[in-house]
Amino acid sequence: MPANLTPQYLAAEERYRLAKTPEEKLRALKEMLALIPKHKGTEKLQADIKRRISRLQDESRRARSGSHKAPAWVIERVGAGQVPIVGPPNCGKSSLLAALTRAEPRIADYPFTTANPLPGMMPFEDIQVQLVDTPPLAREHWVEWMPDLLRRADACVLMTDLSAPDPWAPLEAILPMLEERGVLLGAGSSEALIDVQLPTLLVANKRDLPGSLERWQHLVAQVGGRAAVEAISVARRDGLERLKRGIFETLQVVRVYPKPPGKPPEKSEPFVLPAGSTVLTLAERIHKEIARKLRYARVWGRSGVFDGQRVGPDHGLQDGDLVEIHAA
């Protein structure tokens, strides 16, 4: 039976998606529950809304009764973006963090070694990306705070193991559990009510083992374009440099270099902006007063037709652009 959701319900759902605080989310969810048509076609959605209301109410009660100290899973975001590494037991998440950063996670050949998230900074050309090792996920080993950690992230590395008979099977078990809690990894759709759809790179480890090529090909077919896929071997450090670029591209950001008028460009620390940002976006990031007085800019790089092209505030920027801003 079709849901036949009303415009009023869809408006409340949009308010829920845009809500920034637990209180705003709770108000929107209660409104959605009141407005949703009550019939068999919406029973699953009604149950989902009720679960979310209950979870937010529980979190609110815990916040009122507990201290103001942030939970252990809250990792302060630094660098160009925060990217958790998520996957089943013994797929190599901690080894990958150690290979790409200077972090020293606990690594063992038995499952569930990682109990708490551990960050590390991955250098990529002239920026740093924050990777976060996370506890393994399995149907029988659920981590309650994992969806909250993912909601705060900018992208995700979803990891699996090419030595397994079916590398997709453990992911097929945990992805619906995340979706039920409002987190969709990669592209696609879900019947659940989604809080965040996180750009995701699927990383298949242990490509050096016998039979991995056939399992890799089968995995790519199963993913079906829902996420980009990279095959690596952490043990042999195969594919790690290409993986760094893949993680950067999954973040969907651009690096832009400001050039003060009459001076050399400042190439040491680029501004990292969301893909699709404009000259005005950059001006606002530099200073609100500069954005208010912005007249035009000159650009050098892929977004311009020629070097030094004069452009307006709405000009879209691309990765690697030099931008000279002219304000009144």
Q: What DSSP element (H or E) covers 132?
A: strand 127-133
Mean pLDDT, range 199-219, rounded to an integer: 93
For 276-325, the pLDDT digits (tens) are: 999 999 999 988 888 999 999 999 999 999 999 999 999 999 999 999 99
Measured over the CA atoms of residue 16, residue 192, residue 147 and residue 56, the dihedral's sign is positive
pTM of the model: 0.80
pLDDT of residue 202: 95
Final residue in a domain of this structure, among 251, 283, 304: 251
Does residue 1 fall inside a structural domain? no
Q: Which of 258, 208, 274, 257 is nearest to 236 (CA)?
A: 208
In a domain, residue 71? The reply is: no
Query: Is residue 134 classed exposed, middle or buried when 0-12, 13-18 and 19+ CB atoms within 10 A define those classes?
Result: buried
Q: Residue 112: its pLDDT value, please?
A: 60
- 45 and 152 fall within a common domain: no
C-beta separation of 259 from 265 below 8 A: yes
CA-CA-CA-CA torsion sign (173, 218, 232, 234): positive
Do residue 240 and residue 260 come from a single domain?
A: no
Check if the beta carbon of residue 316 is closer than 8 Å to that of residue 282. Answer: no
Q: What is the distance between the alpha carbons of residues 292 and 279, in angstroms, rounded to a whole number?
A: 12
Together in a domain, 174 and 47: no
Residue 287's CATH number: 3.10.20.30
Secondary element (H or E) of residue 280: helix 279-286
* Residue 73 falls inside a structural domain: no
- In this model, does residue 326 exceed pLDDT 60? yes
pLDDT score, position 63: 60
Region label for 118, one of left (φ > 0), alpha (ψ between -120 and 50) or beta (otherwise): beta
Q: Convert the pLDDT of each residue in 139-181 to its tens digit.
A: 888 888 899 899 989 999 999 999 999 999 999 989 999 998 8
Do 168 and 271 have their domain in common? no
257, 199: one domain: no
Share of the chain above pLDDT 90, in %: 52
Please indicate, yes or no, whether residues 113 and 234 belong to a single structural domain of this protein.
yes
Which of 285, 160, 281 has its CA nearest to residue 222?
Answer: 160
Same domain, 193 and 315: no
Look at residue 5 in the predicted model and tell me its pLDDT. Answer: 82
Residue 70 in domain: no
Answer with the one of 251, 277, 311 that is the final residue of a domain.
Answer: 251
Residue 2 located in a structural domain: no
Residue 1 confidence (pLDDT):
46
* Among candidate residues 202, 229, 251, the one where a domain is terminated: 251
Do 134 and 213 lie in a common domain?
yes
Judgement on whether residues 59 and 206 belong to the same structural domain of the protein:
no
Nearest partner of 89 among 155, 156, 173, judged by Cα:
173
Residue 137 and residue 17 share a domain: no
